Amino acid sequence: MKPYSAWKVFVNGLTGQKGWDRAWRDPEPKTEYDVVIVGAGLHGLATAYYLAKNHGIKNIAVVEKGWLGGGNGGRNTTIVRSNYMLPGNREFYEHSLKLWENLSHDLNYNVMFSQRAHVTLLHSPAARDGAARRYNTMRLTGSDGELWDLETLKRNIPHLNYSADARFPIIGAMAQPRAGTARHDAVAWGYARGADQQGVDILQNCEVTGVARNGSTVTGLQTSRGVIRAKKIGFAVAGNTSRLWRMAELGKLPIESHKLQAFVSEPLKPLLDHVVVFGVGGAHFYISQSDKGGMVFGGDIDWYKSYAQRGNLPIVQDVAECATSILPCLGRVRLLRHWSGVMDMSMDGSPFICKTPLDNLYLNAGWNYGGFKASPASGWYFADLIANDRPDPVIANHTLDRFARGINIDERGAGPDPKLHG
Amino acid sequence: MLRISCPFCGVRDHSEFSYGGDASVEYPALDASESEWVEAVFQRENLDGVQFETWQHIQGCRMWIVVERDTRSHAIHSVRPAHEGIARALNAEQDGVSAS
């Protein structure tokens, strides 16, 4: 496979675009692999990529029931940030942001990572104090964060609703300048191509229908494309983790599946240069503008458990109200489409990258709202866990038993109710 | 929009209700072991299919109800009051009405 370059784009432009190879192979499944990852989403593909690149394991398959990047990898609002406060999360997401900063070069694939700043609006002195605490804590581990007064905010984003008569008048913002957005499909394609180049078999339309066990080990998977044996297996199927867990006869998980909607408007001329977040009272809203001009935005989950990739109308109304509340200029903009993805909502809002009750089975799950930005570090640390059979200290507490041990990682302080960890 | 038939108020939009959670969870005795409590508070079946779940009619009668719903299709199969005694009384009353 030949690397992409500006020169290739130029040459192929002159020769009818005939000089391109396919980006990844479509191989037949082998009967046995050293590692099989279930789920060719961003996390599964990143895991395979780093297993090959960082740990020299080449005999890897990624099995996917649909097409790669067709789940939540293609159903998000593409926001990347590292403004987390709790130990473990802070180091994890900062490592992820650092990987994002070099991802296009690393993958030789333009993921269109745009560090346009993530700006959370503030509406009260108490919120400002909370933001100062969060951002000062973040800076201790090397993340960047700034408090913007009203003048700075107005200079950067002049057309928000600054009316003193607003239900929640804006008094300033907290900003992370290194945060931003990326092209979600390109991330899936880039990791798939990068993994494939190192010999990873990506097996699409290959649905897992059973997990074969021998006592406390897993021996392989029954799939719609035949039996595949594996020395090690990793699950990276957020949204459907509980289903796969039951196939392995492992019982219950501290996870509920909920759905989260996202929306995109018709394309507009450049309007919004930042990611803007509005969260006060009952509101929860985040918005940015894509490179095609569409306003990409979302809000809360649908508030009840679901496996349907189909959203409900009260949230559409809720999100539209939030949009017009902070950006009244969007009032007559038409919605182009909206979609819904199934989230693993965990009991404390934080993920799992951990060993399981079975010796050679590994779990990557529970990403709540935060899966997209986490993809590079998730793949990085999950690959490290699978290759070395022990967790890196950064993810040492991202285990299933943290609830029994009383070390929940609850960024929101919302307690053990999955729907509240938005 | 889901439409939930509240046993007390009739059919209403789900936005009047607040989702509780898995109704099959049974809380152990207060002096039960820590592992039993961890199981009840944190561990979930998370079924893909028909499950019993609790909702509260928070903008209506404020009663807790148990809804039998398919988490793949959102089809609702049955609704009853969460409180066993109230459910029994309501059943008895409805039987009485239909008998007379």
Question: pLDDT 10s per residue in chain A (422 long)?
Answer: 679 999 999 999 999 999 999 999 999 999 999 999 999 999 999 999 999 999 999 999 999 999 999 999 999 999 999 999 999 999 999 999 999 999 999 999 999 999 999 999 999 999 999 999 999 999 999 999 999 999 999 999 999 999 999 999 999 999 999 999 999 999 999 999 999 999 999 999 999 999 999 999 999 999 999 999 999 999 999 999 999 999 999 999 999 999 999 999 999 999 999 999 999 987 899 999 999 999 999 999 999 999 998 889 999 999 999 999 999 999 999 999 999 999 999 999 999 999 999 999 999 999 998 899 999 999 999 999 999 999 999 999 999 999 999 999 999 999 999 999 87
- For residue B98, name the pLDDT band (cuts at 50, 70, 90): low
What are φ and ψ of residue A289, in 5° steps? -115, 130
Instruction: Determine how many CB atoms are found less than 10 A away from the CB of residue A56.
Output: 9
Residue of B nearest to A416 (CA): B42
Rounded-to-integer distance, Cα A101 and Cα A184, Å = 15
Contact assessment for residue A59 and residue A35, using Cβ atoms and an 8 Å cutoff: yes
User: Is A307 exposed, middle or buried (CB count within 10 Å of its CB: 0-12, 13-18, 19+)?
Assistant: buried
Please tell me the distance in Å from B88's CA to the nearest CA on chain A: 27
pLDDT digits (tens, 9 = 90+) for B71-87: 999 999 999 999 999 99
What are the structure tokens assigned to A101, written together?
């900063």
Q: Give the per-residue pLDDT at B94.
A: 79
| ipTM summary value | 0.92
What are the structure tokens assigned to A328, written together?
């009244």
Provide the 3-class DSSP secondary structure of residue A371: helix
Q: Give the per-residue pLDDT at B93.
A: 83
Question: 3-class secondary structure for chain B?
Answer: CCEEEECCCEEEEHHHCEEEEECCCCCCCCCCCHHHHHHHHHCECCCCCEEEEEEECCCCCCCEEEEEEECCCCCEEEEEECCHHHHHHHHHHHHHHHHC
Q: Give the per-residue pLDDT at A281.
A: 80
What are φ and ψ of residue A25, in 5° steps? -75, 170
Buried b (16+ CB within 10 A) or exposed e, B50-87: ebbbbbbbeeebebbbbbebbbeebebeebbbbeeebe
Q: A235, A301, A305: which to substitute to probe chain B, counting the most B Cβ within 10 Å?
A: A305
Residue in B42, B72, B74 nearest the CB of A347: B42
Q: B2, B26, B42: which to substitute to probe chain A, counting the most A Cβ within 10 Å?
A: B42
Q: Do A306 and B43 touch (CB under 8 A)?
A: no
What are the structure tokens assigned to A61, written together?
């398959």
Rounded-to-integer distance, Cα A229 and Cα A218, Å = 9
Rounded-to-integer distance, Cα B8 and Cα B82, Å = 12
What are the structure tokens assigned to A24, written together?
């990844």
Running DSSP on this structure, what letter comes out for residue A20? P
Residue of A nearest to B38 (CA): A404
Residue of B nearest to A303 (CA): B19
Q: Give the per-residue pLDDT at A309.
A: 87
Residue in A251, A306, A404 nearest the CB of B71: A306
Residue B100 has pLDDT above 50, yes or no: no
Q: Do A307 and B71 touch (CB under 8 A)?
A: yes
Rounded-to-integer distance, Cα A274 and Cα A107, Å = 25
Please tell me the distance in Å from B33's CA to the nearest CA on chain A: 12
Average pLDDT, integer, range B6-34: 96
Angle between the N-to-C axes of helices A125-140 and A89-101, in degrees from 0 to 180, rounded to the nearest 10:
70
Q: Give the per-residue pLDDT at A63.
A: 98
- pLDDT above 70 covers a percentage of chain B that reads 96
What are the structure tokens assigned to A81, written together?
């940030």
